[in-house]
Amino acid sequence: MADRITVIGWDGTPLTEAAAAALAAATLVAGAPYQLKALPVPPAAERIALGSIQLAARRIAEHRGAAVVIAEGDPGFFGVVRTLRRPEYGLELEVLPAVSSVAAAFARAGMPWEDAQVASAHGGRLRRAANLCRAHPKVAVLTAPGAGPAELALMLRGVHRTFVVCEALGTPDEDVTVLTSDRVADHIWRDPSVVLVIGGSSAGGPGGGPANGAAGEAAGWLAGRPVGYPGPDRGWALPTDTYTGTGRTPAPPGAPADPGAPGATDTLPAHVRALVLARLGARPGDLVWTVGAGSGALAVDAARFGAAVVAVEADRSACARLAVNARRYGVEVEIVHGRGPDVLGELPEPDAAVVETGGPEAVRAVLSRRPERIVAVARTLAEAEEVRRVIAGAGYLADGALLQSAPLLPPAGAAADGPGLRLGMGDPGTFLLWGAQKP
């Protein structure tokens, strides 16, 4: 193993005294080609152009002498330190960080960033990074070859965002470009870069103040969370009456019983939504479809878990109420007006989906896109049996339950805070089916 291993973060500014001394004494130096060219690498030192960090780590472990690894910005933040510290290499590191590329990018944009999400598109994670950009109004994305600004913008097609593309930060070729997301794919960008994706209902724009009257609010206290987090609403599956205009526009008298039609089903009760959320397992980086979303109680619940949510609803009035509820709880929900099976083909790939209305037809349409998990609501036992067959027939592990509840009330005529309880009128119950892809 090398006698001493120093990892130097470089942001284009002159090296610190400690970093310069470590580099001058190095007998092996690993770094990107432009870094090896720009910095004063000792002429006699072995040079390794960083491509595979794993291969470089093996060579460093075999080296006898002083080794230096040069990385961009802060090498401990989505950088080389994690790989170099893997136990199989047995390396002990001294890390000398510089300003991270993410911090530099937000500085160039003149924006605070304690409330920003930070994601890496490396390792095939571009889709999850794009979902994070759908769900949050301020995201920094570390790009990679084949997963750059243009590819990210294409995945966000139809979602309006502002891109701040920062190329070659800290070098003479540094370039910062601000574009709307619909124009980003028209350009050729250099790799790697840092992309700030800004937009939605609560973000401040580059060079500007915060939106939606947030000016003057106290600074945030928890990184990656919006200013004002956690807010006044505690818990999940909030009571139905906390949402604006829950339910759908009543169906006309005598209208056929179309399970996907407006008025077919009211908002799911809170205890049902709680189980739906548990079975969906929504998390940051996921994309969740809610089909037949109504006024959006379940869609908003899922978005509050940090998932990106696309809500499909055929009733325009319900779509408007859904937008109000999303704004009220400070979450991003993409609303698609239309009947489920007719519009699903244009939507991005889901990780999980819930069919609130639409019956077996909507469930089949959703399963054709192969989400990892699905939950569906059925109105009758016969429909529940058919939905379960559809889920199992698609190769999923299927299960389900009938959920019923009744309130606990004070005895008739007694004060609300008096002794004793009685069981109130129960609801007729909700048939819930769910499925997960087989391991």
pLDDT tens-digit series, residues 184-205: 999 999 987 899 999 976 554 4
Task: Please enumerate, as own/partner, the contacts of 141-145 that have beta carbons within 8 Å and a separation of 24 or more.
Answer: 141/194, 141/195, 141/196, 141/197, 142/78, 142/101, 142/102, 142/118, 142/192, 142/194, 143/189, 143/191, 143/192, 143/193, 143/194, 143/195, 144/120, 144/191, 144/192, 145/191, 145/192
Helix orientation angle between 297-304 and 316-328, rounded to the nearest 10 degrees? 30
162-188 confidence digits (pLDDT tens): 999 999 998 888 999 999 999 999 999
Q: How many CB atoms lie within 10 A of CB 35?
A: 20
DSSP state of 44: T
Residue type, 244: T
pLDDT in tens, 305-335: 999 999 999 999 999 999 999 999 989 999 9
Instruction: Write the pLDDT tens digit of every residue in 341-360.
Output: 899 999 999 999 999 999 99
Q: Which residue has the higher pLDDT, 423 or 386?
A: 386
Which residues have C-beta within 8 Å of that of residue 432, sequence separation ≥ 6? Answer: 272, 275, 276, 279, 375, 376, 377, 378, 400, 401, 402, 403
For residue 231, pLDDT over 80 is answered with no
| Tokens 């244009």, residue located | 346
Residue 101 in tokens = 């590329």
pLDDT at 202: 54
Query: pLDDT digit string (tens) for 110-161?
Result: 999 999 999 999 989 999 999 999 999 999 999 999 999 999 999 999 899 9
pLDDT band at 224 (very low <50, low <70, confident <90, very high): confident
- How would DSSP label each residue in 314-341? S-HHHHHHHHHHHHHTT--EEEEES-HH
The answer to whether residue 227 scores a pLDDT higher than 70 is yes
Residue matched to tokens 């001294």 = 94
Contact 261, 338 (CB under 8 A): no
For 433, the 3-state DSSP assignment is strand
pLDDT at 249 over 80: no
pLDDT at position 233 is 81
Q: Residues 402-436: pLDDT tens digits?
A: 999 998 888 887 777 778 888 988 888 999 999 99
Non-local (6+) Cβ contacts of 337 within 8 A are 313, 314, 316, 319
Note the pLDDT tens digit of each residue in 19-75. 999 999 999 999 999 899 999 999 999 999 998 899 999 999 999 999 999 999 999
Instruction: Determine whether 200 is exposed, middle or buried from the number of CB atoms within 10 Å of its CB (0-12, 13-18, 19+).
Output: buried
259 pLDDT tier (thresholds 50, 70, 90): very low
Confidence at 221, pLDDT banded by 50, 70, 90: confident
The first and second tokens of residue 263, run together, are 């008025």
What is residue 263's predicted lDDT score, i.e. its pLDDT?
A: 39
Query: Can you tell me whether residue 23 is helix, strand or coil?
Result: helix
Please report the pLDDT score of residue 218 as a whole number. 58
The tokens 């940090």 sit on which residue? Answer: 306
What mean pLDDT, rounded, does the chain reach?
Answer: 89
CA distance 228 to 413: 43
Q: How confident is the model at residue 206 (pLDDT cuts 50, 70, 90)?
A: low
- Judging by beta carbons within 10 Å of its beta carbon (0-12, 13-18, 19+), is residue 24 exposed, middle or buried? middle
Please say if the pLDDT value at position 79 is more than 70: yes
pLDDT value of residue 201: 62
Q: How many CB atoms lie within 10 A of CB 123?
A: 8
Spatial distance between the Cα atoms of 226 and 247, rounded to a whole number of angstroms: 29
321-360 as b/e: b if 16+ CB within 10 A: bbbebbbebbbbbbbbeebbbebbeebbebbbbbbbbbbb
Phi, psi of 436 (to 5 degrees): -135, 145
Peptide bond into 192 cis (omega under 30): yes
Q: Which amino acid is at 305?
A: F
Does 209 have pLDDT greater than 90?
no
| DSSP H or E run through 353 | strand 352-355
CA–CA dist 194, 185 (Å, integer): 15
d(CA 282, CA 290): 12
